[in-house]
Structure 1
Amino acid sequence: MIPSCWSLVCSFLVVGVFCLCGSARQMEDANGNCTKFSPLVGYTAQLSMLQHQLRGQIEVLNDCSFRVTRFDMLAGKDVYWWGAKDENFQNMTDGFVISRTHLNRTFVNESMVVTLEDCTWDDFRVLGVWDVALEADYGHIVFPTSDTITAMTPTLAPAMSPHPALPPSSSEDKNARLFSVKNQPTMFDNCIVLSSIYRLRWTLNAETGTVDLGVEAAVPDTHYMAFGWAKPGSTSAFMLNADVVLAGFQNHTTPFVDDYYISKYGECTWDQDVPSGVCPDSAYSQNDNSSSNRTDLKFIHGQWQDGVAFMRYQKTLQSDSQFDIGINATSEMVAIWALGLMKQPDSLRPLYLPEKHTSFGHVSLNLSDTVDGCKGPLQAPNSDDLDLIVAEAGVPIVVSVGPATHYPNPPHPDEVIYLNEVEAPVLKVERGVQVTFSVQAGHEVAFYISESPLGGEPSENVTIFAGGSDAQGVPATPYPLVWKPDRFTPDEVYYHSYFQKKMGWKIQVVDGGLTDMYNSTVYLADQKVKLYWMITEAGISFAVRAVPKSGYVAIGFGESMVNTFAYVGWLEDDTCKVGTYWIDGRDSGSIHRTNESLTDVQCAQQNGMITFQFSRPLDPHCTGHQECRNVIDPSIPLKIVWAIGTHWSADHLTSSNMHSSKSSKYMSVHLTKGVAEPEQELRPVLAVHGFMMFLAWALLFPGGVLAARYLRHLKDDGWFQIHVYAQYSGIAIMLLGVLFAIAEKGEFHTGSLHVKLGLTSIFFACMQPINAFFRPKKAAPGERPSTARVVWLFVHRYTGGLALLVGFVTLWTGIVALRNEYAGDQMRGLGWALAGWLFCVATLTIYLEYRGFRHGQYGRESSFAKGDWIMANNEDDDSANLLRSNQPLSTAAGSGEVQLYPGKQMEVQLQTL
Structure 2
Amino acid sequence: MQFCNQSLYGGITLGIAIDSIKSKLNCEVLHDELAFEVRWAVAGDSIVLQLVAKLEDGEYMAFGPSGDNAKTQMVGGDPAVAWVDKRTLKGFAEDYYLDAKSQCAGVRGSCPDQRLVDNTNSIRLLNAALVNGYSIVTYQRSLKAADELDRAVLTNSSQAIIWAIGPLNSRNEVSYHPHFTKGDKLIEFGRPPVWNCPMPEEDDEPAAAAPQREPAQKQPQPAQVIKPNPVPTPKPVAKVEPWDIPAIQCYEPPDGVFYAQMGPTGGKQGYSAITGHVGWGISWYINGLLIPEINVVRGRKYTFVVEGGSNPDVPARYHPFYITNDPVGGYFHKTDKEKEGVEIYAGVRRTRSGALTAVGVGRLCNWTPAQTGPEADEFPSFGAYQRSLTLECEEGSPGVVTWTPDRHTPDTVYYQCFTHRHLGWKINVLDECDAQEADESRVVQAVALPDDLASEESVQ
TM-score range, shorter chain: 0.3 to 0.5
Greater Rg by CA: 1
TM-score by length of 1: 0.21
Query: Relative contact order (alpha carbons < 8 A, sep ≥ 6): 1 or 2 greater?
Result: 2
TM-score by length of 2: 0.39
